[in-house]
């Protein structure tokens, strides 16, 4: 199964989600990320904190949705913080879910405060991905994917998946 993470600039949250998914899924999911207005550069702290957690960063890049037009994902996850920004919309034939993640790259303060913001978002991503993996969507017919994601979203106590 293929999962596509979308965020406006594709430099932090979607990149973190892509890398963490690859790491946790161990081949069960193919993860990609893109943005509607990609910055062209992965945020350096995204790379730093992924590496600190032992999560590979090789091959991560900020790219546009157009560059992934041929991917045809099974699942599309938007990760923009809905209160602060608008997220891209994917019109392809895929199950869709929204994880409203705060942008840790916008955090102000000391190095410790910024690190904690990144670690907090990465922890939420890890929890969401584990719940997603536990669904075993590959064992369900494609027409049941959206319903399973919706049920998972409703059962979550923190608003993401």
CATH of the domain at 109: 3.40.50.2300
Q: Are 53 and 115 in contact (CB under 8 A)?
A: no
Contact 66, 87 (CB under 8 A): no
The count of domains in the chain is 1
Q: What is the pLDDT of residue 85?
A: 53
Domain of residue 25 covers: 2-155
Question: What is the pTM assigned to this prediction?
Answer: 0.90
Is residue 161 situated within a structural domain? no
Look at residue 81 and tell me whether its pLDDT is greater than 90. Answer: no
What average pLDDT does the chain have? Answer: 89
What is d(CA 29, CA 23) in angstroms, rounded to the nearest whole number?
Answer: 10
| Comparison of pLDDT for 125 and 80, the residue scoring more | 125
């Amino acid at each position: 199964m293929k999962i596509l993470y979308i965020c406006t600039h594709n430099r932090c949250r979607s990149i973190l989600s892509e890398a963490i998914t690859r790491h946790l899924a161990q081949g069960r999911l193919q993860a990609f990320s893109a943005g509607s207005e990609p910055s062209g550069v992965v945020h350096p702290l995204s790379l730093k904190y992924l590496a600190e957690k032992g999560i590979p960063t090789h091959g991560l890049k900020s790219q546009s949705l157009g560059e992934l037009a041929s991917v045809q994902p099974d699942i599309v996850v938007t990760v923009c913080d809905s209160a602060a920004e608008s997220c891209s919309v994917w019109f392809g034939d895929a199950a869709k879910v929204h994880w409203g993640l705060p942008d840790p790259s916008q955090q102000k303060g000391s190095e410790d405060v910024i690190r904690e913001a990144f670690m907090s978002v990465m922890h939420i991503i890890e929890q969401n991905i584990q719940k997603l993996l536990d669904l075993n969507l590959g064992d369900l017919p494609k027409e049941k994917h959206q319903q399973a994601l919706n049920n998972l979203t409703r059962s979550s106590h923190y608003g993401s998946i």
